[in-house]
Amino acid sequence: MSYDFQGIASVITASRHLGTPSDERLNDSVDIQLSSSGKPTLARLDFDKPLDWPGNPNFVAVHLPDGSTVSGVIVDIERPTNAPGWVTFTVDD
């Protein structure tokens, strides 16, 4: 399945580790570009401004305007505190 989207969406960044409570941060109304490829599916999420991240993030969920959600485990991340960034994640599909 292809996960391609460009526009405004909500992004949840999370730290989910066994034995500890989940720490989730909602980033509402973020200008994003989402693309995907391969099997298993890898998605890349580019965002135009810094997001709010918990300590040791390992999960991301993107809530699209059509009501669908694309989520998965973080593979690689670039999250500057003062510039756009990106995250690559496996898609739970």
The domain spans of the chain are: 5-90
Task: Select from 16, 24, 30, 29 the least CA-distant residue to 86.
Answer: 30
pLDDT digit string, tens, across residues 36-80: 988 889 999 999 999 999 999 999 999 999 999 999 999 999 999
pLDDT digit string, tens, across residues 16-47: 988 889 999 999 999 999 999 888 899 999 99
Indicate the CATH number for domain 5-90. Answer: 2.40.10
Task: Please say whether the beta carbons of 75 and 57 come within 8 A.
Answer: no
pTM for the full predicted model? 0.92
CA dihedral over 41, 46, 82, 60, signed as positive or negative: negative
